[in-house]
Amino acid sequence: MPEEIIKKETEDNTNDLRAIFDLMQKHSEEDEKLITKAYKFAKEAHKNFERLSGDPYIVHLVGTAKNLAEIKADAETIAAGLLHDVLEDTTTKKEDVVREFGDDITFMIEGVTKLGKIKYHGVERHAESLRKLFIATARDIRVLLIKLADRLNNAATLESLHKVRPEKSRRIALETLEIYAPLANRLGMGHIKGELEDLAFPYILPNEYKETVRLRQKKSKEIMKRLEKINRLLCKRLAKAGITKFKTDFRVKHIYSLFLKLQKKNMDIDKIYDLSALRIMVPTTEDCYRVLGIIHNTWRPLPERLKDYIAVPKPNGYQSIHTVIFTGDGGIVEIQIRSEQMHNEAEYGIAAHLAYDESGKKKTGGELSKKLKWITQLIEWQKGVHESESFLDNLKTDFFNNQIFVFTPKGDVVELPEGASPLDFAYLIHTDIGSHAFGAKVNGKMASFDTALKNGDIVEIITREKSTPSPKWLEYAKTSEAIKRIRISLGNTKKNKERLER
């Protein structure tokens, strides 16, 4: 290999790794060694692969890793992000990954691979089932973080795909908007949710996207000037009150989020009061309420527009105080007040709890359970957790134990109660399929009608026109719909038989 090529490749490697390390909140020498090893392994495994854009495949993997570093994921998760496609797309064997990187990273890679095989056809009734399936399937929450980081990078490169395969780009955009963005929201990751929605929006509703961008540009200049003026005065008032440790910034509403609000207001942007907002981050919860008092003593608040999400957090754990004020010059401005910790959790959700504490140790599960009450509906904590244990060792999904998610041969998701049989599946798909069921295949193999289906099974029903329900089927069915349809069929069969005998 010519010397100049070797030199360029070395520079590329260094730049890629430095970009990842720079985004990480804190990292040790061991972390750098692990991520470097994963990077080199992934680059070698994918050396003959290119993206549709013509970029080497490693560009996507680095993009995924950078997204993970930005949401404060740990070194193992970032390494798994770099390696997330090696088992699916290359000749790399599982045992090679286990030997080089251990069981935990291999488990994450396999989890991402499994989620990648789930198809989505834009069927509205399956959207929530698919979101639930993702959470139920990912026994380690980090699998979901990698999948979201992977999708974020793919969504950011939709333009290249759209030029050559517009239908596929639209399908990916729809899946991003209906599955991944709500999933990010469910995990409290507001930053990722907003990015995913905005990246997908132009490929789903291009005309509406352009109009929303135009309206936002038209209004945002005027509002930003007003926010800057409010910010200058507020900084003086806070300093006068002895509050010196604070940060402020301006938030402009995401395009898709604005579009949804505009729809409710007949596309009248003058009726949108939170197009932009002034954010104030302070050290403690007590400071939040002190700042609120200063704001309301300086400007007149709009009646009934105060929202205290600190006292009553949103279901996904979001905490902040929102107030809307009259600026005195005919304008109206929203101000959001939160602590630094609340801000990190609002942006990165559960991923914020993978970050390190001040001493450089990972935060524990106990801290997570106190901060995010909603997570108790989603995960089960093992008992007797010690302070020194990583919360990741104790994070288990248990929210969906009473339901399972299986697939049609085309990859559609079907939600069933635990213990459901192929007959329950058949009747849920269509009454005629249930009524004429002759046999069933589960994961490609013939299975009896009393088989208890499991999470992730692929189920196919074989039908015959002359096949009819048997009384035995009532013992196999678990859903009320299937039992009802079987009884109706049996009743009709009995009536027909009696009529023929007469």
pLDDT classification of 234: cutoffs 50, 70, 90: very high
Question: 3-class DSSP state for residue 204?
Answer: helix
Mean pLDDT of 449-456: 89
Report phi then psi at 91, rounded to 5.
Answer: -85, 5
Residues with Cβ within 8 Å of residue 376, at least 6 apart in sequence: 369
Q: What letter represents residue 327's amino acid?
A: T
Cβ atoms within 10 Å of 120's Cβ, excluding its own: 19
Mean pLDDT of 426-430: 92
Alpha-carbon span 288 to 486, nearest angstrom: 61
For 103-113, how does the pLDDT look when each residue is reduced to its tens digit (9 = 90+)?
999 989 988 88
Given this model, what pLDDT does residue 141 score?
Answer: 76
Give the residue numbers marked as catalytic: 88-89
Alpha-carbon span 255 to 234, nearest angstrom: 28
Residues with Cβ within 8 Å of residue 126, at least 6 apart in sequence: 120, 412, 413, 414
Alpha-carbon span 192 to 378, nearest angstrom: 20
Is residue 158 scored above 80 in pLDDT?
A: yes
Is residue 311 scored above 50 in pLDDT?
A: yes
What is the rounded radius of gyration, in angstroms, for the C-alpha atoms of the chain?
Answer: 27
> What is the distance, to the nearest Å, from the Cα of residue 79 to the centroid of all Cα atoms in its chain?
19
Our separate counts of H helices and E strands in the chain read: 21, 13
Alpha-carbon span 475 to 483, nearest angstrom: 9
Q: Residue 497 to residues 72, 455, 465, 487: CA-CA distances in angstroms?
A: 69, 40, 18, 15
Given this model, what pLDDT does residue 391 score?
Answer: 37
Cβ(431)–Cβ(486) under 8 Å? no
More confident residue, 282 or 383: 282
Given this model, what pLDDT does residue 496 score?
Answer: 53
Tokens of 369: 């359970």
Is residue 149 scored above 90 in pLDDT?
A: yes
Domain ranges of the chain: 3-199, 207-346, 369-401, 403-501
∠ CA 300-320-339, nearest 5°, is 105
Cβ(422)–Cβ(460) under 8 Å? no
**Residue 459: strand pairing partners:** 442
- Please measure the distance between the N-terminal and C-terminal CA atoms of the chain and give it in whole angstroms: 92
What is the fold of 403-501? Ubiquitin-like (UB roll) (3.10.20)
Given this model, what pLDDT does residue 344 score?
Answer: 85
**Residue 356: strand pairing partners:** 362
Percent of the chain surpassing pLDDT 70: 80
Q: What letter represents residue 275's amino acid?
A: L
Is residue 400 scored above 50 in pLDDT?
A: no
Hey, what long-range contacts does 168-177 have (CB within 8 A, 24 or more apart)?
169/203, 170/203, 170/204, 171/122, 172/200, 172/203, 173/199, 173/200, 173/201, 173/203, 173/204, 174/120, 174/122, 174/200, 174/204, 175/120, 175/122, 176/151, 176/200, 177/201, 177/204, 177/256
b/e per residue 179-193 (b: at least 16 CB within 10 A): bbbbbbbbbbbbbbb
For 323-339, how does the pLDDT look when each residue is reduced to its tens digit (9 = 90+)?
999 988 888 899 999 99
Tokens of 394: 């104790």
pLDDT classification of 251: cutoffs 50, 70, 90: confident
Domain 207-346 has CATH 3.40.50.720: no
- Tell me the DSSP string of 89-126: HSS--HHHHHHHHHHHHHHHHHHHHHHHT------HHH
Mean pLDDT of 110-129: 65
Question: 3-class DSSP state for residue 83?
Answer: helix
CATH number for the segment(s) 3-199: 1.10.3210.10
Alpha-carbon span 195 to 403, nearest angstrom: 31
Does this model's pTM top 0.75? My answer is: no
pLDDT classification of 479: cutoffs 50, 70, 90: confident
Mean pLDDT of 211-237: 90
Tokens of 469: 């329900």
Is residue 268 scored above 50 in pLDDT?
A: yes
> What is the distance, to the nearest Å, from the Cα of residue 219 to the centroid of all Cα atoms in its chain?
31
